[in-house]
Amino acid sequence: MTSSEDSVSAWKCKQVAQWLQEKGFGEYVELLCTRHRLDGLSLLALTEADLRGPPLGLTVLGDIKRLTLALRQLQRQNQSQLEELGIPTSDSLPAVLPMDTTGLEWSFDRAESRYNGFDLVSNGTELRLRNGSRCGYGTAAALCHTHSNGRYRKHLAGRLDPEVWKTVISVIYVFLVFGFTSFVMVIVHERVPDMRTYPPLPDIFLDSVPRIPWAFAMAEACGLILCYMFLLILLLHKHRSILLRRLCSLMGTVFLLRCCTMFVTSLSVPGQHLKCSSKTYSDTWGKIQRALAIWSGFGMTLTGVQTCGDYMFSGHTVVITMLNFFVTEYTPQTWNLIHTISWVLNLFGIFFILAGHEHYSIDVFIAFYITTRLFLYYHTLANTRAYQQSRRARIWFPMFFFFECNVNGPVPNQYHWPFSKPALMKTLIG
C-alpha cells in the first residue's frame, strides 16, 4: 500500500482512511476523516480517551478496544516519529516513579493513592501523577503528565495551584452580593403586602403544624454549628483556597438569584405572629443604613435583625444546605459520623424554619432544590472538565470557567496543620 511507504506523520486524510479500511474500521472513515479531518499526525496522537469522549463519542466497546490496539501498534512502529514530535512514549511511565521501592506505602481516600510521596489520582480513565504542586520526570520537571490508556498528555505544573488572588476576588464577590441582597431586602420591606388585605396563603405544612416560637432560633443555631464545622475543615484542608473560592462563588450566585425572585414577586406574610407592615424610608441614606444593619448582622434574628417580605426563597435554607454539602463533599467518605451530623443539622434546620412559620413550604423547597442542583452541577463540571469541550458552557458560565480553568479534576481530601506549632498537631495531621 502506498501509505505504508510514507512517514505516518505525513499522511493525509485519504491515507488515514485507507489505513482504517485495511484494519477493518471502514465504518468510522466518514466520522474520523471526513467530519473531523484526521490526518497522520493526529492519528499518532489519538488515544482511547479521545475515542470515548466528545466530540467522537464511540459507543461500541469492542470497536474502541480493537481500534486502540491498532493505534498502539502503529505508534510502536513509529516510535521515532513520536519522539521527534515530542509525544512521550508509553515506555516512559516508570521514569516518573522512584525506582527504589523500599518503604512502599499505599493509602486510599476515594480515588486517591500515594506512592513514596507521589500522589496518583484516578479520575475516570485518567491517572495523574502529582508531587505537591509540581510533577515531572526524574528530578521533577516543571510539567505534569497525564497517563490515559497507555498514553501521556502534558499538563502545566501546579494543577492544584491555590490561586489566592482568585479566592480574594470570590470573597469580594460574595460580600458585594450580600450587600446588594441587604439593600433589596430593604426595598422589598417597603412593598410587603398589607396583612389585613392579603392574609397568609394556604400552606399544608403551616396549616397542619402549630408554630413553635423558639424554632427559628434553633434553625439559626443549626446553621452556626454547620458553619463552625466547615471553618474547621477549611482550616485543616490542604486545598483550603479552592474550597473557599467555590463556597463564595456558589453562595454569591444563589443569593444573586434570590435577589431577583424576592424582588419581582411579593408574597403575603406567612404568619399572623409576624408584625410586618410596609416601611418607608425618607431618603436613600436611610435605606443604606438599614441595609448595612442587615448586612452586618448577617440577616439573622440572633443578631437582632428582623426583616419582612424576603420570602421567595429562603436564605437560611440556602446557607444551611450549602454548608452541609461542602462538609460532606470535602471530608473522606469514611467519616460517617461527621456526614450524619451534618445531614441531621441540615434537615432539622429546615424543619425548624418551617416550624417557626417564618417561610412558606414552597420557599424552603425551592431554596433546597436550587442550592443542591447548583452545587452538583458545579462540581460535576469541575470534576469531569466537561466544559473544556463545550464553547457554549464557557459562554453561559464565564465565572465558573474563570475560577476553575486551572483546577484539573476532583480536589483530593488531604489535610495538614497550617501552623508550625504545636508540634503534636503537626505530627497528628501532617
Cell numbers linked to 287: 435605606
| Residue in the block written with cell 441595609 | 291
How does DSSP classify residue 406?
T
Catalytic residue check, 310: no
Which one of the listed residues 147, 237, 357, 359 is annotated catalytic?
359
**In this structure, which long-range contacts are made by residues 62-65, counting pairs with CB atoms below 8 Å and at least 24 apart in sequence?**
63/25, 63/28
With contact defined as beta carbons under 8 Å apart, do 192 and 277 qualify?
yes
Describe the strand order of the beta sheet including 112-115 as a list of residue ranges: 108-109, 112-115, 118-123, 126-130, 143-148, 151-156
With contact defined as beta carbons under 8 Å apart, do 347 and 317 qualify?
no
Distance CA 96, CA 116 (A): 12
Cell numbers linked to 245: 473560592
DSSP conformation letters of 256-318: HHHHHHHHH--PPPS-TTS-------SSHHHHHHHHHHHHHTTT-GGGT----S--SS-HHHH
Distance CA 137, CA 195 (A): 71
Which one of the listed residues 237, 316, 339, 357 is annotated catalytic?
316
Cell numbers linked to 214: 423558639
With contact defined as beta carbons under 8 Å apart, do 399 and 253 qualify?
yes
How does DSSP classify residue 30?
I
Catalytic residue check, 50: no
Which one of the listed residues 50, 203, 310, 363 is annotated catalytic?
363
* Consecutive H or E run containing 128: strand 126-130
Longest dimension (CA), the chain: 91
The tally of CA atoms less than 13 A away on the side-chain side of residue 66 is: 10
With contact defined as beta carbons under 8 Å apart, do 345 and 353 qualify?
no
Catalytic residue check, 207: no
Cell numbers linked to 372: 443542591
Active site residues: 316, 359, 363
